[in-house]
Structure 1
């Protein structure tokens, strides 16, 4: 139940609906009990078994509550029969029965009406918090997690919480109150019979509880497996060209089929145990009713200590306990199942981000002098990617980082943008450590163009407004022109309002990259980071993108991570990396004259 308590805090903003639900449930339980009790006067008239009570009865304490209730009914019936007739008395009794059942169902509907706002409100807030947390967590968190698993937690796990945990909110007042009021009515009719019945109820309750002990474990397996096959689906959609290109459909189909087979097996085990709850509780309830029929029947037929109509109503009340008892039993299974879902959801919500703003973090509004990388060391897991790395980037300069794959170039971009934190050393902007400034203000100073042009299933305009939400059409067109992108955007069917498809699938590689550059231009940051922005392009596209990059980098501080060395010959400084360390540094011509690592890299690319 510890997870249930944590989830319950999401219900606090909707406590008004909770109180209205509780009030409605109180009346539902009250009229639900009275609906059965109101049958007794009608049965007395039908059996002609009402005692002649000519004066109003006197209440003599809780011990005589049953007698007082029975005498009151007899007095009412006799008065009605004397005033009219037995048929008219019967019609009044039927009207009372209909009225109580009507009120019971009206308050039942109101209870469900109010709880709907609470349940859906909690669902909304929980999903919003999960999404916010998903965005807040560092990039490193998702390098270890499957995307499909995260999607499963936000979708199906949250829905499971709504079905299991939040259904308890419906039962927590209504069903116990229904049982309580029913027991009071049963005690009023016969204390002796009620005590006899309640000897057997704990025994049946213990038997039911034994069934659901392993539900949480099986439910956890089901939800984890669902996350696994959603991951396979997400990877399949993302890599469909590769799968088809390598005729790997059967490999991925096999992985998916194996996962769904495990899901099939786990789900069968879980649902079969869950489905056992209702028939088991109903059968045990009928056993209790059967024992009640035997013992109560002897009180009516042998001992003559209980009136027939009272016994019929008592039987109805006893069965009236079965429905809420079954609901509570089913809810207990739901708690065990929901516990696993809540645990998975709370695992994300309670994960502390490794990259957080300090309490006294400053807001950096501008950039005036240098970006300094001072003696940093960094590793993703066990092996050092960078060691004793230092670099100064003066304002207005373009510094290019080159080297073989794995030399640590892209890691520099990840550290300057603070997607990861350095293990040793520090990175400063205008001598302010980036860990001492807010992440928001740091990233306001930076523009990022990555090798993979990350675009969204939205319009051209919508994709650019990610950088500046309130940008006007004129500003967007100006940015597109700088990026050499306006020439193709203006020819699109709906111009700026053309949807470019999932990940910009309706555009070519060069067009996508130029849109990415236009997005960075629209942001207009003082520092630009270009992470191999042209490495995936053909020669013609590269020429257009390179011209766009040169337009963008004018009078701007830029850190360029380059794969194609022809694109960075005009850089103010070229830094050559090897195994996380600087091996050469200088301008293009100077480095060529040294005939070292850079010279060899240029020669290899020229030969290629």
Structure 2
């Protein structure tokens, strides 16, 4: 969750699209449930169920909403069929159902339409900020990091953040609301049967969470190995002449194949766990459907407390929960997988630049006399490269630095250009 909070500021510039997406998803969830509930009166007409009611039913409160809906649908069927015939009544109900499904899919498209701007906008801003940070960081940062790993963070890791965290934004309102509205519809039809659904949701959530515990760790290994592959490729292309000069093609090919083999192994482990979510959640759902068929069938056949049309619609609503439940389980895996990618991206964004200007620093706009290096010292890790080194370089003169490899010649040039900060001494221009 801590990584979601850090990604959240990138969402704020596009909050307008987030609110529009939420608005569309609320109506999608509402019409998704209503389109199923509207099947009850149609099925009553087709199967000739329901007692005739000629007087307008009275609404007696939310606790009796199910009875009011059944009575009112029976009243409409009775009066309309008496006036214009059953075929006309059935046609009106079919048109109503088609209209509700049309509105459901229209709002579904609107939700996806608006979320596209948010997802792609966050992706763009994240890459822009990451590139700006890469340019700002000192050369010393890249002496410790491989270029291929940085490229992997800029490309595949940022893309993974979009595919995981931002995909959750699509589900965080849409799927839970669909489940809530569906459960309300199920409660209206039969509170007894709905008890099984309340038992199913926490049990299935617990089982799915057990499967996904190690997903972040496995995803992190995949992302790291992907960085190694790109690093090996970048180093190979940069040093191809040297590789060929020393006939080292076989050795480098072997190193690359070892990396791809590790990536193959880690990716298989990750995909196996991820792919387990959907079948497990669907199997748990089918178990509940089977229980509902047994118990609900008893209510229809033996007890007579539920009519056939309502039971068929109820089963449709119960199955309607499976799709959002599976989507939520996949999203939970996506968050764990995205944690690893977000951690790698944010580790770059949150890296402190050790080189910074002093307050009210003098702006040097001309070069007059020369460069004076006085008693500078510098070390890489625990290795002293320069110690109390001094030199004067007058303007217009050429000074040659001669020495063996590793004696500090390139380091002096890097210090003058301030690719690194000196530890002691001073460089004057």
Q: TM-score, normalised by structure 2?
A: 0.97
Shift of 1:13: 0.9
Shift of 1:186: 0.6
User: 2:426 corresponds to which residue?
Assistant: 426
* 2:262 maps to 1:262: yes
| Contact 1:197 1:292 (8 Å CA) reproduced | no
| Contact 2:150 2:227 (8 Å CA) reproduced | yes
User: 1:98 corresponds to which residue?
Assistant: 98
| Contact 1:274 1:333 (8 Å CA) reproduced | yes
User: 2:318 corresponds to which residue?
Assistant: 318
User: 2:343 corresponds to which residue?
Assistant: 343
Aligned residues: 429
User: 1:415 corresponds to which residue?
Assistant: 415
Shift of 1:205: 2.0
Distance (Å, rounded) in 1 between the aligned partners of 2:88 and 2:362: 84
| Bigger fraction of residues in helix | 2
User: 1:38 corresponds to which residue?
Assistant: 38
SS of 2:32 mapped into structure 1: helix
| The 10-residue stretch of structure 1 (94-103 or 235-244) with the greater mean CA deviation from structure 2 | 235-244
* 2:232 maps to 1:228: no
Shift of 1:286: 0.3
Distance (Å, rounded) in 2 between the aligned partners of 1:420 and 1:300: 81
| Contact 1:50 1:78 (8 Å CA) reproduced | no
* 2:209 maps to 1:209: yes
Q: How does 1:145-164 map to 2 (within 5 A)?
A: 145-164=145-164
SS of 2:402 mapped into structure 1: strand
User: 1:329 corresponds to which residue?
Assistant: 329
| Contact 2:153 2:227 (8 Å CA) reproduced | yes
| Contact 1:215 1:270 (8 Å CA) reproduced | yes
Structure 1 pair 61/389, CA: closer, same or farther in 2 (3 Å)? same
Distance (Å, rounded) in 2 between the aligned partners of 1:199 and 1:408: 71
SS of 1:302 mapped into structure 2: helix
Q: How does 1:508-527 map to 2 (within 5 A)?
A: none
User: 1:108 corresponds to which residue?
Assistant: 108
Distance (Å, rounded) in 2 between the aligned partners of 1:259 and 1:396: 51
Q: How does 1:323-402 map to 2 (within 5 A)?
A: 323-402=323-402
Distance (Å, rounded) in 2 between the aligned partners of 1:348 and 1:60: 61
| Contact 2:17 2:118 (8 Å CA) reproduced | yes
Give the RMSD, CA atoms, in angstroms: 1.4
Distance (Å, rounded) in 1 between the aligned partners of 2:241 and 2:401: 31
Shift of 1:284: 0.6
SS of 2:160 mapped into structure 1: helix
| Contact 1:24 1:107 (8 Å CA) reproduced | yes
SS of 1:69 mapped into structure 2: helix
SS of 2:321 mapped into structure 1: helix
**Structure 1: 5+ residue runs without aligned partners?**
430-608
**Structure 2: 5+ residue runs without aligned partners?**
none
Distance (Å, rounded) in 1 between the aligned partners of 2:159 and 2:66: 46
| Contact 1:211 1:277 (8 Å CA) reproduced | yes
Distance (Å, rounded) in 2 between the aligned partners of 1:234 and 1:394: 40
Distance (Å, rounded) in 1 between the aligned partners of 2:4 and 2:132: 21
After superposition, the C-alpha distances for 1:284-331 in whole angstroms (9 at most, x for unaligned) are 110011111111111111111111111111101011111100000010
After superposition, the C-alpha distances for 1:226-274 in whole angstroms (9 at most, x for unaligned) are 1111111111111112222222111011011111111111111110111
User: 1:143 corresponds to which residue?
Assistant: 143
Q: How does 1:430-449 map to 2 (within 5 A)?
A: none
User: 2:127 corresponds to which residue?
Assistant: 127
Distance (Å, rounded) in 1 between the aligned partners of 2:80 and 2:425: 95
Distance (Å, rounded) in 2 between the aligned partners of 1:239 and 1:405: 19
After superposition, the C-alpha distances for 1:176-206 in whole angstroms (9 at most, x for unaligned) are 1100100111111111211233223322221
